[in-house]
Structure formats: C-alpha cells, structure tokens
Structure 1
Amino acid sequence: MTPADHKMVSDLMETYFEGLHQADSAQLRKVFHPQLAYVCATEGDELYLDLETYMSRVDGREPPVKRGDPREEEILEIAFASDRLARVSARMTMMGRDFHDLLTLVRYGAEWRIIAKVFSYVPRKD
C-alpha cells in the first residue's frame, strides 16, 4: 500500500484511541463504519453489538480521561490485504483493563473505516 494509506490508517488509530480515552462517540463515529460489528471475545463476557448500541454504551461511561487514566496504547501491526482491506492489531489500557484489539478496516468512499472490532481484555496488573 501507499505511504498515504499507511498515514490514513495511523491517523484513524489516533482518533480511535483519543475517542476511547475521551468516551467521545462523535469522534469514534468518524472511524467506525455504519455497519460495525463489535465483538468482545473475553471468556465469560462475550458480547456482540452494532454501532448504535456500542455508541450508547460509550456515551454512558465515565471517560477514562476524567477517571485519571493515562493514555496507554500501541499499534502492534498494520497489514494491508488489498487497496480496500486492512487489519490493525493494537493494545491499550483503560478502565482497569488491558485490551487487545483486532480491527478490520475497509474502504468507505475515500476513507478507511473500522468495520469489525474484535477484542479481549484482562484485568490490569498493577
């Protein structure tokens, strides 16, 4: 893929991380596809949501920034399967949990958008 595509996905991830940290559904809507599949794969907490249900959950949570949680995240891998399909593996810590996200991105017009967010978490060890 082109350096421009890599930059677009990196910028998308910055918006994603900041949107989660701020619990800002308006910001997160900029990175999610309208047909988002949200899947929690943590044993005992399996969950399958659509975009609107997930955004209402984000709107109802105390933002990690207000809880005093520092932003801790890392993009582990960005992989392009084609000019219309990409995958991002990322990790982040918030709300007392360590998360590992596997994000599938597709082209949505001229932009990249997250069509599937599949993740698991473990309680944070301090």
Structure 2
Amino acid sequence: MMKQAILIPALLAAATAGCTTVHTNQVVAAPSAEEAAVKAAVLDYFQGQGQASADRLNKAFAEDVAVMVSPAREGPGFQRREMSEIIPAWASNSNPIGERSDYSFLSVEIVDDRLATVTFRSTDRFYDALTLIKHSGEWQIVAKAYVPQ
C-alpha cells in the first residue's frame, strides 16, 4: 500500500509535467495602448485589402521595405514579393470583398515597445506571421509570411 501511495502521485506528476492549467474564472486584462496600436495596424492591412483601400494599406505597410513570403505555388521552395508591387494590385481590385469580421489574432508579442510579432488568422483563408516596427511613433508591417489554409 505504501508503494502505491508513492507511485500514484509520482505518475500523476510525470503525466502532467509540462502541462499548463488554465483557469476560466481569471480576469483578462485589457490590451495595452501599444497592443491596441499594433492590432490597428494589422487591421488596416486586413480591412484595407478587403476594401481595396490604398490609404489603409500604405498606412499598414512600410511599403518601401516590406516583403511578403509564402510557399511556392508550384513545387518546392518559397516565393518572395515586394509589398511595393502588391499594394497597388490589392488597391486596384475592382471587386473588393468589403470589410470583414472573419479573423482572429492568435498572438501579439511586443518587445521594447518598438518591435512586434503577430500571428493572425483569416478564417478559412490563411495564417499570417507579421513583423511590425514602430517608426516615428507609428507601427508598420515590415514582413508578412503566410500559408494558405
């Protein structure tokens, strides 16, 4: 009986090692002003694309330096495109889908109030990993990596 009394807690400890307990009654803090500003920049991109709004897209991206990377459409490897080529194409869409609400922020990480990474999901379309830099007081996307769903 003594061996069982020691063995059962040891097995439970081993089985739950590395697990995180989530309490559903925890209060979630409101996002910081920086997090809200980062999310606003991401939504300028997402909604700007849906609205074919050059203003919102140019506000969201550091157009002169921003890049987009994705898996190659055919075969192995990746494709890399400059946002300075993509933004005009998105903004000239003659049949934009309009403002959308089918998205979610999977994570937002801010480092030193100047660098942010965001993982973002457009429901049933794609996953984005975005890198933003705060420059002259504004958050802008400098890199977009995505995979289709």
Q: Report TM bin, short chain.
A: 0.7 to 0.9
CA distance 1:88–1:70, change in 2 (3 Å):
closer
Name the stretch that deviates more: 50-59 or 105-114. 50-59
Q: Gapped runs of 5+ residues in structure 1?
A: none
Taking only aligned residues, the RMSD between alpha carbons, in angstroms, comes to: 2.3
Q: Determine the structure 1 residue equivalent to 2:139.
A: 112
Name the aligned partner's letter for residue 29 of structure 1. Answer: N
Is the contact between residue 49 and residue 91 of structure 2 (CA under 8 Å) also seen in structure 1?
A: no
Does residue 23 in structure 1 map to residue 23 in structure 2? no
**TM-score normalised by structure 2 residue count:** 0.67
Q: Secondary structure of 1:30's match?
A: helix
Q: Determine the structure 1 residue equivalent to 2:97.
A: 64
For 2:67 and 2:42, the matched residues in 1 are separated by 17
Identity %: 26
Report the CA distance between 1:50 and its aligned residue.
1.2
Deviation per CA, 1:57-86: give whole Å up to 9, x if none.
213433122xxx953111111001322211
For 1:44 and 1:108, the matched residues in 2 are separated by 36
Structure with greater proportional strand content: 1
Q: Determine the structure 1 residue equivalent to 2:109.
A: 79
**TM-score normalised by structure 1 residue count:** 0.78
How many residue pairs are counted as aligned between the two chains?
A: 115
Report the CA distance between 1:42 and its aligned residue.
5.5
Q: Secondary structure of 2:74's match?
A: coil
Structure 1 residue runs of 4 or more that deviate by more than 3 Å after TM superposition: none
Q: Gapped runs of 5+ residues in structure 2?
A: 1-30
For 2:44 and 2:116, the matched residues in 1 are separated by 17
